[in-house]
């Protein structure tokens, strides 16, 4: 049986936490920073978790991450 391939685009965007959840980076921090407040920028620095509804779909893209 051949090995499954990891989707490389997903591997660059998502990482697994120690508890088994999937971590993702926050959207909206690539450009146009001038209009965003310092509070908002500080919140955007933090990573957030993938919604439980989407976790199964992302786990299929990353067969060996967890």
Q: What is the pTM of this model?
A: 0.80
pLDDT digits (tens, 9 = 90+) for 32-41: 999 999 999 9
- List, in order of start, the domains of the chain with CATH numbers: 8-61 (4.10.410.60)
Given the structure tokens 């989407």, which residue do they identify? 54
pLDDT digits (tens, 9 = 90+) for 9-28: 999 999 999 999 999 999 99
Q: Are 26 and 40 within 8 A, CB to CB? A: no
Strand order in the sheet with 14-16: 14-16, 22-24, 48-49
């Amino acid at each position: 049986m051949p090995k499954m391939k990891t989707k490389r685009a997903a591997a660059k965007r998502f990482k697994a936490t120690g508890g088994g959840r999937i971590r993702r980076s926050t959207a909206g921090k690539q450009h146009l920073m001038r209009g965003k407040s310092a509070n908002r920028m500080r919140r955007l620095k933090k990573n957030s978790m993938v919604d439980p509804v989407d976790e199964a779909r992302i786990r299929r893209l990353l067969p060996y991450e967890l």
